[in-house]
Amino acid sequence: MKLKKRKQRPLQWALMAIILFLGIISIINWALNLVATQERGQQERTPRVSEQVRQYEPLVASYAKTNGVLEYKDVLLSIMMQESGGGGDDPMQSSESRCGKPGCIKDPEQSIQSGVAHFSKMLDEADGDLELAVQSYNFGRGFIQFAQREAGGYTQEAAIDFSKQMYAKAEDKEKYRCLRPEAREINACYGDMYYVQAVMKYRPAFAES
């Protein structure tokens, strides 16, 4: 005699459906939490950028386009962030490149106009070497020839050597601030020998702008 298969009760089917549904919800929640954790980690790794800098983004983009360096808008904004955080009358600290001394620029737009033009010129003289152009924004155009001659382009070692040599030659060393303890230890107090790294750390914050 054949045994008849027992039919599963509706209650059993309902319990299985509930368990499956709860399992799917748990997996979705886990995935969402994982994505949120990764996003928070990325935000923590990317330094915060001031609203003062962000308010100048359209103006920077305009002058960058005029000077043929629109693709480096994020770099220019990062330079501004490093130089001043977007504050003051000279947010790009471009007085020295324009006048040969600090403090001659009293208008933010003039600062941006001069700063963008100076960066464009440095990039051209550096033959498109972005890191060399960025470091030269801080050191001055003399670093371009030095780095090209000594290292064939930008290197961290060239930046350190240039800072040390320029500081050693300075008659009035009091006007130079050692921005970093490690710079003082090796007498590399001319400018910021780690300027490239300082600027580039802000760049991801502007990449999607």
Report all structural domains of the chain as residue ranges with CATH numbers, in order of start: 51-152+194-206 (1.10.530.10)
Nearest to 139 by CA among 166, 116, 114: 166
The first and second tokens of residue 195, run together, are 């300027």
Q: What is the pLDDT of residues 151-209, one digit of tens each?
A: 999 999 999 999 999 999 998 888 888 889 999 999 999 999 999 999 999 999 887 65
CA distance 135 to 75: 12
DSSP codes joined into one string, 154-165 = --HHHHHHHHHH
Report the Cα–Cα distance between both ends of the chain, in Å, rounded: 77
Q: pTM of this prediction?
A: 0.77
